[in-house]
Chains A and B, each alone.
Chain A
Amino acid sequence: MCLAVPGKVLEIEERDGTRMASVDFGGVVKEVCLEYLPDLRIGEYAIVHVGFALQRLDEESARRTLDLFENLGLLEEEFGDPWEQAARTDTPTPEAGR
């Protein structure tokens, strides 16, 4: 939850009087609230934290960060199944690694 992940705006719509967007995070698409960046446009990138766009980001730095997060497994950590992740801490730690 502490991560803020760059994402690309795919679609924008008004819901219940709130500006919402579908945002693509390196393949994972999530609903994101645009109320704090109301002039964000389709195709633009922003830093997204817990479902809220908080600051515009240029495309190049966005892509670079996403690649890095992907390589580090951080996207899976952010968007994976939290119950599974929590359950894993109750079984012997996967120390093996490499």
Chain B
Amino acid sequence: MKYIDEFQNPDLARRLLDTIHATVTRPWALMEVCGGQTHSIIRHGIDQLLPEEIELIHGPGCPVCVTPLEMIDKALEVASRPGVIFCSFGDMLRVPGTDRDLFQVRAAGGDVRVVYSPLDALRIAQENPEAQVVFFGIGFETTAPPNAMAVYQARRLGVRNFSLLVSHVRVPPAIEALMTSPQCRVDAFLAAGHVCSVMGTQEYPDLAATHRVPIVVTGFEPLDILEGVRRAVTQLERGEHTVDNAYPRAVRAEGNPAARDMLADVFEVTDRAWRGIGVIPDSGWRLSGRYREFDAEHRFQVGAITTTEPAACRSGEVLQGLLKPHECEAFGTTCTPRTPLGATMVSSEGACAAYYLYRRLGGTPTPTTAEATHVG
């Protein structure tokens, strides 16, 4: 337990760990759904503090990582067009498309801009009426409501030169797909706290009951994660499988009703491809009929672009918890954050990058600098 002193409250951390150690009697595999949790787990060496019976599997919850190559290529194509101002979150700049990334499109003269909020992109559209302003709408249920608001406002204010390239994904269908896969090894899920801040917990009881799998809503800080693990393991040892909220300071059962209403208005559920995994039924959102005119895929006629992913990259197996990043042959050799073969190496929330940054030295978390986190 040598890293425990770095925790904000080492006493509490130790108590949680002691309880977990005392509770566990046999092997369990827990999947943390969210990339933010993966980052926190690897950075703080939490997996190494847990009893060896507990394996943490790093799930597909990094939106940057699961955005399909095809969608990246569409973004690159749109961003290269004259007269387009392409707006994106900073995390997407280095995500490799088939032959380049957004950073390079900008270097070649494309007008690519990074925004903090989707409303910044809308303002750019208002200020540049002669240009077509496109916003790259990626993310899970947490990011979808902000992006939905930008489209809603564009329609309300009559900003016709604004559009959204939509690649939104939903967590529950991904959990369903993982649980129905014959290779599934997951005994319990740590569900993503901020997704539930928006959506609440109502989507999960059916999943927990059908697949007899505990689902514990968990936060992102080291203590949150230990508490999530403690509750999941307690359920597993007792043979229970319910939805439990271990992150009540940010998650209410009903979520955020205003945000959910907006989602229901602006988006509709659709099948969506996840990078490295493939199409998962009902796992995404697209613009609903009332907002279809704001769909960039349609406006720029890039719907037909299709791409195949590089065979060397095994991020699909990593995202499903079938392979640990360092078990991939390319890891740290041909694939590094500087020369990523797959998106799980690009984003600091991706499992491959997290291992690369914090696990270079044979299983010891490398001391971190602020700089070392700037990969995403």
Residues of A within 8 A of B (CB): 1-4, 16-18, 30-33, 35-38, 47, 49-52, 54-55, 57-58, 61, 64-65, 67-68, 72-74, 76-77, 79-80, 82-83, 85-95, 97-98
Please tell me if the beta carbons of A54 and B118 are within 8 angstroms of each other in the complex.
no
Q: Inside 8 A of A97's CB, which chain B residues have their CB? A: 366-369, 371-372
CA distance A61 to B120 in the complex (A): 29
Number of B positions contacting A (CB below 8 A):
59
Query: Is the pair B116, A54 in contact by a Cβ cutoff of 8 Å?
Result: no
User: Does B93 lie within 8 Å of A82, measured CB to CB?
Assistant: yes
Q: Which of A3, A31, A54 contacts B256 (CB 8 A)?
A: A54
CA distance A55 to B337 in the complex (A): 33
Does residue B198 face the partner (Cβ distance < 8 Å to A)? yes
Assuming the A-B contacts A50-B116, A52-B117, A86-B90, are A2 and B35 also in contact, with contact meaning beta carbons closer than 8 angstroms in the complex? yes
Supposing A89-B337, A89-B338 touch, asked if A47 and B114 sit within 8 A by C-beta, the answer is no
Given A16-B157, A55-B251, A89-B375, answer yes or no on A2-B91 (Cβ-Cβ < 8 Å).
yes
Residues of B within 8 A of A72 (CB): 43, 368, 370, 373
Interface centre among B64, B117, B338 (most CB of A within 10 A): B117
**Contact at A54–B259, with CB atoms within 8 Å?**
yes
Q: Which residues of B lie under 8 Å from residue A68 when comparing CB positions?
A: 8, 221
Interface segment, one of B48-56, B70-78, B140-148:
B140-148
Which residues of chain A come closer than 8 Å to B90, judged between CB atoms? 1, 82-83, 85-86
Measured CB to CB, the closest approach of chain A to B73, in angstroms, equals 19
In the complex with contacts A35-B258, A55-B256, A86-B103, A2-B63 CB distance below 8 A: yes
12 more A-B contacts (CB under 8 A) besides A54-B259, A73-B370, A77-B376?
A1-B91, A36-B259, A37-B256, A50-B89, A51-B119, A51-B120, A54-B197, A55-B198, A77-B348, A77-B370, A89-B374, A94-B369
The residues of B that contact A80 with a CB separation of less than 8 Å are: 374
- Bound complex: CA A22 to CA B253 (Å): 28
CB distance from B122 to the nearest CB of A (A): 10
CA distance A94 to B35 in the complex (A): 22
Inter-chain contact A51/B117, CB cutoff 8 Å: yes
Q: Which residues of A contact B120 (CB under 8 A)?
A: 51
Q: Distance (Å) between the CB of A68 and the closest chain B CB? A: 6
Residue of B nearest to A86 (CB): B93
Contact A18 B221 (CB under 8 A): no
Contact present for B142 and A49 (CB under 8 Å): yes
Contact of B116 among A30, A55, A74 (CB under 8 A): A30
Q: List 5 A-B contacts (CB under 8 A).
A: A33-B117, A52-B149, A55-B250, A85-B376, A88-B374
Cross-chain contact A47 with B149 (CB below 8 angstroms): no
